[in-house]
């Protein structure tokens, strides 16, 4: 069995969990999230803790056991605290601006890139080269960050592009002139 799946999820005071057959809904101060639960798993609330239990043992259920527990833990953390991701833009003339719910990016192309933020995701642009995106759904936040990074991934020779703050880009040596 999964070691992750066996751990109970502590529920903060402001978070309420609604259990329905095949679905779990988590509500907190930041919003509401719901997740489908496979019928082979049982979710229960005991003493301000959320637990997941496998009703049978086979490889398919074992694989979903830890995943479901991790998804539920992310939902609880998301509606209580929220998640955030920071992207940095590096390059001369590269910048970002926020216009309503659209990010306008100048990334060295002949045109500006307009990116509509998905519902539930907010962004703050700091110093024109730092984008802070926030949301309660961890999956949607990571997907949005990856889509933004895909417009201009960091290149290894000059390091220009959009990168995560914790990301390190391995730099390559460029061409050397022949004599």
pLDDT tier for residue 2 given thresholds of 50, 70 and 90: low
Q: Are residues 90 and 26 in the same domain?
A: no
Q: Once rounded to an integer, what is the mean pLDDT over residues 115-129?
A: 92
Q: What angle do CA 115, 171, 110 make, to 5 degrees?
A: 35
pLDDT tens-digit profile of 15-45? 999 999 889 999 999 999 999 998 888 899 9
Which domain-ending residue is among 44, 62, 80?
Answer: 80
Q: Are residues 157 and 88 in the same domain?
A: yes
Q: Are residues 71 and 96 in the same domain?
A: no
Q: Are residues 95 and 73 in the same domain?
A: no
Number of domains in the chain: 2
3-state DSSP assignment of residue 123: strand
Q: Are residues 142 and 109 in the same domain?
A: yes
3-state DSSP assignment of residue 55: coil
Q: Are residues 122 and 98 in the same domain?
A: yes
Phi, psi of 14 (to 5 degrees): -80, -5
Q: What is the CATH number of the domain that holds 143?
A: 3.90.930.12
Which domain-ending residue is among 33, 62, 80?
Answer: 80
Q: Are residues 89 and 74 in the same domain?
A: no
**Distance separating alpha carbons of residues 112 and 146, to the nearest angstrom:** 18
pLDDT tens-digit profile of 89-121? 998 999 999 999 999 999 988 999 999 999 999
Q: What is the pTM (predicted TM-score) of this model?
A: 0.86
Residues linked to residue 51 through DSSP beta bridges, in sequence order: 44
Q: Of 143, 94, 99, 105, whose CA–CA distance to 121 is shortest?
A: 143
Which domain-ending residue is among 80, 113, 145?
Answer: 80
3-state DSSP assignment of residue 22: coil
**Distance separating alpha carbons of residues 179 and 169, to the nearest angstrom:** 30
Per the structure, the complete domain to which residue 144 belongs is given by: 83-164
CA 115, chain centre distance (Å)? 17
């Amino acid at each position: 069995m999964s070691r992750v799946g066996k751990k109970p999820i502590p529920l903060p005071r402001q978070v309420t969990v609604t259990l329905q057959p095949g679905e779990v809904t988590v509500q907190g101060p930041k919003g509401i999230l719901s997740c489908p639960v496979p019928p082979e798993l049982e979710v229960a609330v005991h003493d301000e803790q959320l637990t997941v239990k496998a009703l049978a043992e086979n490889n398919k259920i074992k694989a979903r056991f830890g995943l479901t527990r991790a998804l539920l833990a992310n939902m609880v953390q998301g509606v209580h605290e929220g998640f955030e991701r920071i992207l940095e833009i590096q390059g001369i003339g590269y910048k970002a601006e926020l216009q309503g719910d659209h990010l306008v990016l100048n990334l060295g192309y002949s045109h500006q890139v307009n990116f509509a933020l998905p519902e539930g995701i907010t962004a703050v642009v700091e110093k024109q080269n730092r984008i802070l995106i926030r949301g309660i759904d961890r999956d949607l936040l990571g997907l949005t960050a990856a889509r933004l990074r895909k417009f201009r991934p960091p290149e290894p020779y000059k390091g220009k592009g959009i990168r995560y703050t914790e990301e390190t880009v391995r730099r390559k040596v460029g061409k050397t002139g022949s004599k």
